[in-house]
C-alpha cells in the first residue's frame, strides 16, 4: 500500500496516476477515509463513452443532481469537493483504448486543478496503456 500511503501523506503531486494494487476496494476506502480523505470509486467495466464515464465519476463523488455530465460541469463540481479526495478508477483501459481523445480530455480535467481547489488524486487501477499517465511508485 506504499503508493497509497504516500498519496495520503501528501508526498505525490495531485493528479492522475496508474496504480498497481490488488487491495480490495473496501480496504482502499477504509485507508483513505481513515486518513481523513473522501473516497470515490468508479468501476469502469462497460463504460465506453465520455458521457458514461462522466456520469460514473459524478455518482462516485456524489455530485449534485444538477451536474451536467460534461467537462465544464466536471471541472466546476471538482472545485466543490468537500476536501482532499481519492478517486479509485478500476477497469479504465477500455475507455482509454476505445476513445483515447476523450480519455485524454477527461483525465486532463481531473489532473489540471488550481492550487486553490481541493486536492484530487485519481488512481487508475488495472492494466492499460502505460504511456498515458505515470505509474504511482
Q: Using an 8 Å Cβ cutoff, are 19 and 41 in contact?
A: no
Question: Residue 20, Cα to own-chain centre: how many angstroms?
Answer: 14
Cα 39 to Cα 76: distance, rounded to the nearest angstrom: 18
Confidence of residue 131 (pLDDT cuts 50, 70, 90): confident
Mind listing the pLDDT tens digit for each residue in 46-103? 999 999 999 999 999 999 999 998 999 999 999 999 999 999 999 999 999 999 999 9
135 pLDDT higher than 70: yes
Question: Residue 74, Cα to own-chain centre: how many angstroms?
Answer: 12
- Domains in the chain, CATH or no CATH each: 2-125 (3.30.370.10)
Q: Using an 8 Å Cβ cutoff, are 6 and 19 in contact?
A: no
- Helix axis angle, 100-111 relative to 71-79, nearest 10°? 20
pLDDT confidence of residue 130: 84
Amino acid at each position: 500500500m506504499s503508493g497509497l500511503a504516500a498519496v495520503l501523506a501528501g508526498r505525490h503531486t495531485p493528479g492522475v496516476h496508474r496504480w498497481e494494487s490488488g487491495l480490495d476496494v473496501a480496504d482502499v476506502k477504509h485507508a483513505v477515509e481513515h486518513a481523513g480523505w473522501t473516497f470515490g470509486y468508479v468501476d469502469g467495466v462497460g463504460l465506453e463513452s465520455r458521457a458514461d464515464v462522466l456520469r460514473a465519476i459524478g455518482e462516485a463523488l456524489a455530485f449534485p443532481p444538477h451536474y451536467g455530465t460534461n467537462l465544464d460541469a466536471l471541472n466546476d463540481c471538482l472545485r466543490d469537493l468537500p476536501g482532499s479526495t481519492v478517486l479509485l478508477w478500476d477497469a479504465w483501459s477500455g475507455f482509454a483504448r476505445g476513445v483515447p481523445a476523450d480519455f485524454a480530455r477527461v483525465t486532463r480535467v481531473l489532473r489540471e486543478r488550481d492550487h486553490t481547489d481541493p486536492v484530487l488524486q485519481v488512481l487508475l487501477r488495472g492494466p492499460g496503456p502505460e504511456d498515458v499517465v505515470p505509474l504511482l511508485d
